């Protein structure tokens, strides 16, 4: 049962040592809450939370949410899951387990404690969309047996579980469909387009464009995204989602690469490779629901957000993936 004797909340963040999780924890602690960070450090790293270990309102637990968790908290943010293709395709079975079994375990915990639980879902549930921009009532165009399906279908199943637990057990649920997000603390070797382009630009290597470079994405700076997650968790109990969280400004991959080259002062040129299997050609959120229900919209334009992201990557460029994992 949620505690009633003080206004300060004790909040569980799974995947809390990851990119989004660590930024969310920073914000929650700044708001005065206690935070329990749970992470198995498969893709998260202690580097992201080193600055918090001596904080009196922060606790860390190394745990895999594929297994039940017995703690006492007032809210649950379920962010645990590899989120980049390189990471989630490295062990696709474990990726699916994290999405599905992790959702079951976090919903079970929320049921026992009678507390709200937020699921970090993804724009990948829309697949290679036939509708543009994507609204929450679009069911998606997902390949259920492709190399990306461990993540896409795992997240879709997690959404199913959240709504079934809500209908059957009255669990207070919140589902955020997160679109491309970038910022400091992204793993420099996670294979995502922003980190790939920045890394190549800082090394003055040719920037790899897949296909003709005209496929589009929308990029939300991490500070904006965290504000959206917290607004969703704090919204009226009738607001369940799913709700798109992302920046609706749309850029081609060539435009993104050109901006990164300009801001970083790089001498990089372009090189082309074939499109990966099931790679979406367009991705842009319709955020009308977030604007109306949460009063939320992103504020930070791409160029402004790229400056601290490039600065962070410049500092960490010499750190290999193996070193990151060793520090975990």
Q: Which of residues 64 and 92 earns the better pLDDT score? A: 64
Residues 6 or more apart whose CB falls under 8 angstroms from that of 135 comprise 244, 286, 288, 289
Q: What is the pLDDT of residues 75-123, one digit of tens each?
A: 999 999 876 566 666 678 888 898 999 999 999 999 999 999 999 999 8
Active site residue 151: yes
In 227-244, which positions are buried (b, 16+ CB within 10 angstroms) versus exposed (e)?
Answer: bbbbbbbebeeebbbbbb
- At 33, is the secondary structure helix, strand, or coil? coil
**Cβ pair 187, 227 in contact under 8 A:** no
**Cβ pair 22, 48 in contact under 8 A:** yes
**Model-level pTM?**
0.89
State both tokens at 187: 């793993």
Gap between the terminal Cα atoms of the chain: 33
**Choice among 151, 182, 237, 312 that is catalytic:** 151
Neighbours of 175 (CB within 10 A): 23
Residue 31 burial class via C-beta count within 10 angstroms: exposed 0-12, middle 13-18, buried 19 and up: exposed
The span from the CA of 260 to the CA of 266, in Å, is: 8
Q: pLDDT at residue 255 above 70?
A: yes
Give me the pLDDT at residue 326, please: 46
Inter-axis angle of helices 222-233 and 19-30, to 10 degrees? 60
The torsion region of residue 256 among left (phi > 0), alpha (psi -120 to 50) and beta comes to alpha
Q: What is the pLDDT of residues 190-217, one digit of tens each?
A: 778 899 899 999 989 999 888 777 888 8
The span from the CA of 13 to the CA of 28, in Å, is: 10
Pick from 4-8, 15-19, 131-135, 190-194 the range whose average pLDDT is largest.
Answer: 15-19
**Cβ pair 290, 244 in contact under 8 A:** yes
pLDDT band (50, 70, 90) for residue 44: confident
Q: Which of residues 272 and 100 earns the better pLDDT score? A: 100
Give me the pLDDT at residue 328, please: 42
Q: Where are the alpha helices (DSSP H) in the chain?
A: 19-30, 85-90, 92-113, 149-169, 193-202, 222-233, 253-264, 288-294, 302-316, 321-327
- What letter would DSSP give residue 179? -
**Cα 38 to the center of its chain, rounded Å:** 15
In terms of C-beta distances under 8 Å and separation of at least 24 residues, what long-range contacts does 197-201 make, across chains too? 197/256, 197/257, 197/260, 198/260, 198/264, 198/306, 198/309, 198/310, 198/313, 199/313, 199/317, 200/268, 201/257, 201/260, 201/261, 201/264, 201/266, 201/268, 201/310
């Amino acid at each position: 049962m949620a505690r009633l004797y003080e206004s300060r909340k004790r909040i569980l963040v799974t995947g809390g040592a990851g990119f989004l999780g660590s930024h969310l924890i920073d914000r929650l602690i700044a708001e005065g809450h206690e935070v329990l960070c749970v992470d198995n450090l498969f893709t998260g790293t202690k580097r992201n939370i080193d600055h918090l270990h001596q904080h009196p309102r922060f606790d860390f637990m190394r745990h895999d949410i594929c297994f039940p968790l017995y703690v006492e908290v007032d809210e649950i943010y379920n962010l645990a899951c590899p989120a980049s293709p390189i990471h989630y395709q490295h062990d696709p079975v474990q990726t699916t387990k994290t999405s599905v079994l992790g959702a079951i375990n976090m919903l079970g915990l929320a049921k026992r404690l009678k507390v709200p639980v937020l699921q970090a879902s993804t724009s990948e549930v829309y697949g290679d969309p036939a509708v543009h921009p994507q609204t929450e009532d679009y069911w998606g165009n997902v390949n259920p047996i492709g190399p990306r399906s461990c993540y896409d279908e795992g997240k879709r199943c997690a959404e199913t579980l959240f709504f079934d637990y809500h209908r059957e057990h009255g669990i207070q649920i919140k589902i955020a469909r997160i679109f491309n997000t970038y910022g400091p603390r992204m793993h420099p070797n996670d294979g995502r387009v922003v980190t790939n382009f920045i890394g190549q630009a800082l090394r003055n290597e040719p920037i790899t464009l897949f296909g003709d470079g005209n496929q589009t994405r929308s990029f939300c700076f991490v500070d904006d995204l965290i504000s959206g997650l917290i607004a969703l968790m704090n919204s009226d109990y009738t607001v369940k989602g799913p709700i798109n969280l992302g920046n609706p400004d749309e850029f081609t991959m060539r435009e993104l690469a050109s901006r990164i080259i300009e801001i970083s002062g790089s001498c990089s040129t372009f090189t082309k490779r074939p499109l990966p299997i099931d790679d979406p050609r367009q991705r842009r959120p319709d955020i009308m629901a977030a604007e109306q229900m949460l009063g939320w919209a992103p504020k930070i334009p791409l160029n402004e957000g790229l400056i601290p992201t490039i600065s962070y990557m410049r500092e960490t460029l010499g750190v290999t993936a193996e070193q990151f994992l060793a520090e975990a």
